[in-house]
Amino acid sequence: MSSKRGFERLSGLLEKMAFTLVIFLCFWAAVANANFDGLELEADKPLVRVALSQEATISCCYRWKKVTHFVWIKNIYTTNETKVPIIVNLPNNQMDNFTKEQNEVTCQLLVFKSVHLNDTGLYQCQLNSNSLHIFTHGTFLQVYKPLQKSLNLSESVKNSIITAEGVLLLMCVLIPGTMLLCKSKRLNELEKKKGREEENIYEGLNLDDCNSAYHQIQRTNQQGPYQDVASCGEDIQLEKP
């Protein structure tokens, strides 16, 4: 009984797969037989980055004479990394659409007069021709909020500040260097003065007198303060205590 139920489930699954395959093949055949003759999509600008409240222009260009109408599509990426397509509301007072043709190239221009933060997204043109729907490559519009300056200084004030910084830097380099040079010069003068004083000490001395005095001191040290008793002779009698 269980094997029969399993066989029925398997057969049902195969029927569903076959039905899905038939639908896919039909769709693929319809797309393959679609008439895309003469369709050429021009390269779109991948990124347009504009500050808040500024004007922005997005364009999509193509070569295809069979376009009956087109629609601007805005793709918003959610936190789950899913893409949500939304039709752009062209009658909005903040948007304008222009068509420009040149050298058989048709360009659709979407102009934002004053962008907002919620205008950020991927914009594409949906080209419609009877039952055919073609999407262009698309342009991502990024709206950012510029940083506000804490100090609004003019160019002349900035130049004055830069000049003052340069003067201070030059003084920080010159003053310590000048002090080191003065210190080394003072030390050299003291060494020269000390050398002259040492030379003046020996200027008044006579070298001959110094030699005779030196030899006399040497002889005195050799004799000693006491004489040998035996060297005094036999006539000397010692007193009795």
Whether residues 54 and 140 fall in one domain: yes
Whether residues 136 and 50 fall in one domain: yes
What b-and-e string marks burial along 192-231, b requiring 16 or more CB atoms within 10 Å of the CB? eeeeeeeeeeeeeeeeeeeeeeeeeeeeeeeeeeeeeeee
* 158 compared with 195, residue with greater pLDDT: 158
Residue 233 lies in a domain: no
Report CA dihedral (213, 214, 220, 223) to the nearest 10 degrees.
-140
* 70 compared with 32, residue with greater pLDDT: 70
Whether residues 135 and 54 fall in one domain: yes
Confidence band, pLDDT 50/70/90 cuts, at residue 216: low
User: Which of 100, 109, 98, 95 is closest to 44 using CA atoms?
Assistant: 109
pTM for this model (two decimals): 0.50
Position 132, amino acid: L
Distance CA(206)–CA(115), nearest Å, equals 105
Whether residues 75 and 165 fall in one domain: no
* DSSP secondary structure string for all residues of 38-63: T-EEPPPPSEEEEETT--EEEEEEEE
Residue 26 lies in a domain: yes
Whether residues 5 and 57 fall in one domain: no
71: CATH: 2.60.40.10
- The predicted-structure confidence for 116-136, as pLDDT tens digits, reads as follows 999 999 999 998 887 778 889
**What's the structural domain count of the chain?**
3
Residue 109 lies in a domain: yes
* 200 compared with 19, residue with greater pLDDT: 200
Place of tokens 């073609």: 134
CB atoms within 10 A of CB 96: 13
pLDDT at 26 over 70: no
Note down the domain range covering 92. Answer: 40-144
Coil, strand or helix: which one is 176?
A: helix
Query: pLDDT at position 15, please?
Result: 62
Whether residues 16 and 46 fall in one domain: no
Handedness of CA 117, 139, 32, 24 (dihedral sign): negative
Whether residues 24 and 91 fall in one domain: no
Query: pLDDT at position 73, please?
Result: 93
> What does the pLDDT average to over 155-178?
88
